[in-house]
Amino acid sequence: MSAPLLKILESGKIIVGVDEVGRGPLAGAVVAAAVILDPNQPVEGLADSKKVSEKRREALAMEIRKKALNWALGRAEVEEIDEINILHASLLAMSRAVYALSVMPDIALIDGNRCPSDLPCQSMAVVKGDQRVAEISAASIIAKVARDHEMIEMDQKYPGYGLAGHKGYPTKAHIAALQTLGITPIHRRSFAPVRNCL
């Protein structure tokens, strides 16, 4: 772990971890979470949400929501993704998650290599943060569970695309469904496989 990051983690300041999920899918919003963990109520077994089984993720998400000092979600909708591109939409969702907190952090640790420019506190980008910083791992789990639940609901609304299974990602089955059934209002028109079906 880098010295500046270690210094922040040991500073006693209020740290919020921020991560987003849903950059790669062809459908649905990009969802971010911001989590301030309570040092007196640690959550065991935090890891990058992609490395945890779905069942374990659900249990961890519940525990994080119960034990965290504060947590919030932020999102950028499909229309925003198409308008400003997925990178800027991801940063916007992360910024919205931080602003939705009711406890103002001293510093935000952001997963990835860049930070939203308009945060209300200091920030630092942490590459592979979801594997290195507990707060970011917690945020990745909360965001993933929230977005997965949303895609399961969307599967009811738009049957035939398999959204509950692939969660909007560009699987063969999803692309085949797009070509057969056409696109829905929740598909990202700026993404090539969707654009090709227009």
Instruction: Give the pTM.
Output: 0.95
Report yes or no on 183 lying in a domain.
no
Which domain does 64 fall in, by range?
3-156
Pairing of strands 15-21, 30-36: antiparallel
- pLDDT tens for 125-158 read 999 999 999 999 999 999 999 999 999 999 999 9
Q: Measured at the alpha carbon of residue 88, what is the angle toward residues 87 and 94, in degrees to the nearest 5?
A: 95
Under 8 Å between Cβ of 107 and 129: no
- pLDDT tens for 117-127 read 999 999 999 99
Q: Where are the alpha helices (DSSP H) in 46-133?
A: 54-67, 78-84, 86-99, 129-132
Report yes or no on 164 lying in a domain.
no
Burial of 118 (0-12, 13-18, 19+ CB in 10 A): exposed
pLDDT computed for residue 118 by the predictor:
94
How far CA 46 is from CA of 26, 34, 55, 64, in Å, comes to: 28, 15, 14, 9
Number of domains in the chain: 1
Helix, strand, coil distribution of the chain in percent, nearest 5:
45, 15, 35
Report yes or no on 147 lying in a domain.
yes
What integer best gives the mean pLDDT of the chain? 95
Q: Which of 127, 172, 100 is nearest to 19 (CA)?
A: 127
Report yes or no on 57 lying in a domain.
yes
Looking at residue 27, which CATH number applies to its domain?
A: 3.30.420.10
DSSP label at residue 118: T
Report yes or no on 28 lying in a domain.
yes
Report yes or no on 130 lying in a domain.
yes
Under 8 Å between Cβ of 145 and 19: no
pLDDT computed for residue 72 by the predictor:
98
pLDDT band at 39 (very low <50, low <70, confident <90, very high): very high
Q: What is the longest distance spanned by two Cα atoms in the chain?
A: 55
Report yes or no on 83 lying in a domain.
yes
Report yes or no on 14 lying in a domain.
yes
Under 8 Å between Cβ of 4 and 124: yes
| E-state strands within 37-177 | 70-76, 107-111, 122-126
